[in-house]
């Protein structure tokens, strides 16, 4: 292997190591975003379940009353 070939391979290896370093950092950033979104989704699911229950309860309480009411413009 000549000195020029060795130098070219070393430069190529350096570029690959730099790219790998950027990719590892980017993957970590993506993982952080995924973790945050997963936590947010879980919170929203819990809130949705609570609100669905409240709506169901309100609907059960008002079930017989709504059809007998006159619209507000009367």
Does residue 10 surpass a pLDDT of 80? yes
How far apart (Å, rounded) are the C-alpha atoms in residues 32 and 39?
A: 11
* Residue 70 in domain: no
Q: What is the pTM of this model?
A: 0.64
Q: Mean of the pLDDT values across residues 35-60?
A: 96
* Residue 69 in domain: no
* Residue 43 in domain: yes
Instruction: State which residues form the domain around 25.
Output: 3-61
Q: Mean of the pLDDT values across residues 4-25?
A: 98
DSSP assigned state of 1: -
* Residue 42 in domain: yes
Q: Which pLDDT score, from 0 to 100, does residue 67 have? A: 61
Q: Is 37 helix (H, G, I), strand (E, B) or coil?
A: helix
């Amino acid at each position: 292997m000549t000195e020029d070939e060795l130098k070219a391979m070393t430069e190529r290896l350096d570029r690959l190591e730099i790219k790998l370093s950027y990719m590892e950092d980017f993957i970590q950033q993506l993982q952080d975003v995924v973790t945050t979104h997963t936590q947010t989704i879980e919170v929203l699911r819990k809130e949705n379940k609570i609100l669905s229950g409240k709506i169901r309860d309100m609907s059960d309480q008002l079930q017989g009353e709504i059809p007998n009411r006159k619209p507000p413009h009367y």
